[in-house]
């Protein structure tokens, strides 16, 4: 089976902001009986700032889900003891558990398999082989639903204000002109202040499947973004060897 790779990155303390949609300490339970896949997925999620716990069979997954109550479960379908579908069904039928988001991860590609998963309560479905960057993006997407992110919200981080509804950015209440890609880069960094995000993560979330773009393009766009931010450019930090983070300026 082909497997993609991902770069790990460090994290820094989160800075104070008026809104932080995803807690950097969110727990994701990864369930798969293939050790290599557990390692790959865990590495990618930890690199994105998540706490990760793992399980290698359905019974252990159910026990950890009930005990730890993770925000998201990445759940393989073909598991020993209890299948992923059975685990999903049992979790959804347990009224004592909060609404845990479930992303099914499987080698099954048929539409009927996906439909069965959705009918049992899965929130998303990723087929193997997969891109770790895409999987991290899917986890973030389901968490957006959990935390009720709203497109019209205004995010303030020090001198920077981001108005999602109008797609406008202000520095010290003065509007600045950004391209759509620059706006999205800034918005993604501001969603998790203080957390380092790798070039690959930013590339996946901003450019998606645009094959002509490589990770160094992120550096070029960040340089332009800093220039436009002017006095607030110091909020966007380079973490050498890892990526970028945004934080409040030091006082």
How large is the average pLDDT for residues 66-78? 91
User: Which top CATH class is 27-147?
Assistant: alpha beta
User: Is residue 243 over pLDDT 50?
Assistant: yes
- Residues of the chain within CATH 3.40.50.2300 domain(s) are 27-147
Q: Which residue has the higher pLDDT, 135 or 7?
A: 135
- Residues of the chain within CATH 1.10.10.10 domain(s) are 154-246
pTM tops 0.95, yes or no: no
Q: What would the pLDDT profile of 42-63 be if each residue is shown by its tens digit?
A: 999 998 888 999 999 999 999 9
Q: What is the pLDDT of residue 1?
A: 38
Q: What would the pLDDT profile of 142-161 be if each residue is shown by its tens digit?
A: 786 655 444 457 888 889 99
User: Is residue 85 over pLDDT 80?
Assistant: yes
Q: What is the pLDDT of residue 201?
A: 78
Beta strands in the chain, from DSSP E residues, in sequence order:
27-31, 51-55, 72-76, 101-106, 124-127, 154-157, 160-163, 168-171, 174-176, 197-198, 236-239, 243-246
- Kindly give the pairing relationship between strand 168-171 and strand 174-176: antiparallel
CATH architecture of 154-246: Orthogonal Bundle (1.10)
């Amino acid at each position: 089976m082909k497997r993609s790779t991902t770069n790990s990155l460090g994290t820094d303390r989160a800075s104070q902001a008026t809104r932080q949609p995803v807690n950097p300490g969110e727990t994701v339970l990864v369930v798969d009986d293939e050790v290599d896949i557990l390692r790959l997925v865990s590495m990618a999620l930890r690199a994105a700032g998540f706490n990760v716990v793992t399980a290698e069979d359905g019974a252990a997954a159910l026990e950890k889900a009930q005990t730890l109550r993770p925000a998201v479960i990445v759940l393989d379908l073909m598991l020993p003891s209890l299948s992923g579908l059975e685990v999903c069904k049992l979790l959804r039928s347990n009224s004592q558990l909060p609404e845990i988001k479930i992303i099914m991860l499987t080698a099954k590609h048929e539409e009927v398999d996906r439909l069965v998963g959705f009918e049992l309560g899965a929130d998303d479905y990723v087929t193997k082989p997969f891109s770790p960057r895409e999987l991290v993006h899917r986890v973030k997407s389901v968490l957006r639903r959990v935390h009720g992110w709203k497109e019209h919200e205004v995010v303030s981080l020090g001198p920077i204000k981001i108005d999602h509804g109008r797609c406008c950015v202000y520095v010290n209440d003065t509007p600045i002109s950004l391209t759509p890609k620059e706006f999205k880069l800034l918005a993604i960094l501001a969603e998790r202040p203080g957390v380092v995000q790798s070039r690959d993560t930013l590339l996946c979330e901003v450019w998606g499947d645009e094959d002509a773009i490589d990770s160094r393009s992120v550096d070029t766009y960040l340089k332009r973004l800093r220039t436009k931010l002017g006095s607030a450019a110091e909020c966007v930090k380079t973490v050498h060897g890892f990526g970028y983070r945004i934080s409040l300026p030091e006082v």
